[in-house]
Amino acid sequence: MSKPRILVADIETAPGEAYIWNMGEQRIALSMLKTSPRMLCYAAKYVGEKEVYFRSEWEYGGRLRMLNGLWELIANADATLTYNGDRFDLPKILGEFVLAKLPPPPPVASIDLLKTVKKLGLICNKLAFVSPLLGHGNKIETDFSLWTDVMAGKADAWAKMKRYNIQDVKLLEKDYKTLRPYMTNHPYLHSKAGCCPNCGSNKTQARGQRRTRSFWIDRIHCQACGAWSQGTRRKVG
């Protein structure tokens, strides 16, 4: 059976626009909203595969082609890999599908790497900090003017946004491969029983036990990626 396909995905969105009274923090009433945020583009690739997919609203075919392409990528995946995707990217994507009158995509597992990073006790959890810390390179430097230039239709900004989006996806895949052994909630995507739940390797060894209040639980160590998992549970007493 083929290996599970994990789709690394990252979206970029345009900010909403609203009428405001001052520069301080304030509550924006619905009547003050001028335009809602929307997806500008996405970059995606499957873990372990070379091809990187990029679609945007300014390319040939516009928004519908962009959204149809992302729908197909998700439908062909066993899981999505994102950074803060459970709170941001995935809900935004579903909302875009609804507005485009697309059917819901098939359900797939979600791997949100930010949830693992938050357990590491780092001083900063942003991808811009984590990726260079792990030795994987840097995000492309930019500021808010990139988004305003993209919305203004500047071709050089479109080109930079594409590079920016694709770089984030490449960094995310590298970070995932490094941090995968530390993930305790990785979905089980493999067809064979007894293999590592994180990487799918069958090179696993029983390494002692741990005890809870009611059970002895075998500790299983993956010789391929280094992840630990749980084996047989035996009731104490």
pLDDT per residue over 169-205, tens digit each? 999 999 999 999 999 989 999 877 779 999 999 899 9
Tokens of 144: 């808010």
pLDDT per residue over 97-116, tens digit each? 999 999 999 999 999 999 99
Q: What is residue 125's three-state secondary structure?
A: coil
CATH 3.30.590.20 applies to domain 6-182 = no
Q: In the chain, where does DSSP find H-type helix?
A: 62-75, 89-99, 113-117, 127-133, 144-151, 155-179
So what's the pLDDT on residue 68?
98
So what's the pLDDT on residue 60?
92
Tokens of 149: 């230039």
Nearest 5 degrees, angle CA 175-CA 69-CA 11?
Answer: 40
So what's the pLDDT on residue 231?
84
pLDDT band with cut points at 50, 70 and 90 for residue 212: confident
So what's the pLDDT on residue 137?
97
Per-residue DSSP letter, 132:
H
Whole-structure pTM value: 0.92
So what's the pLDDT on residue 95?
98
Map 34-73 to HEC letters: EECCEEEEEEEEECCCCCCEEEECCCCCHHHHHHHHHHHH
Give the sign of the dihedral formed by CA 21, CA 26, CA 31, CA 32.
Answer: positive
Asked if the model's pLDDT at residue 144 lies above 90, the reply is yes
Which residues neighbour 72 within 8 Å (Cβ) at sequence distance 6 or greater? none
Cβ–Cβ < 8 Å for 232, 218: yes
Nearest 5 degrees, angle CA 180-CA 222-CA 8?
Answer: 25
pLDDT band with cut points at 50, 70 and 90 for residue 236: confident
Q: What is residue 18's three-state secondary structure?
A: strand
Domain-wise residue ranges, the chain: 6-182, 204-235
Higher pLDDT, 135 or 208: 135
pLDDT per residue over 58-102, tens digit each? 999 999 999 999 999 999 999 999 999 999 999 999 999 999 999
Cβ–Cβ < 8 Å for 15, 33: no
Residues 210-220: what's their mean pLDDT?
Answer: 88
61 to 38, 58, 68, 181: CA distances (angstroms) = 17, 8, 10, 40
So what's the pLDDT on residue 211?
86
So what's the pLDDT on residue 26?
87
pLDDT per residue over 29-52, tens digit each? 999 999 999 999 999 999 999 999
So what's the pLDDT on residue 143?
97
Could you give the CA distance from residue 62 to residue 108 in angstroms, rounded to a whole number?
Answer: 26
The phi and psi torsions of 63 (rounded to 5 degrees) equal -65, -40
Q: What is residue 163's three-state secondary structure?
A: helix
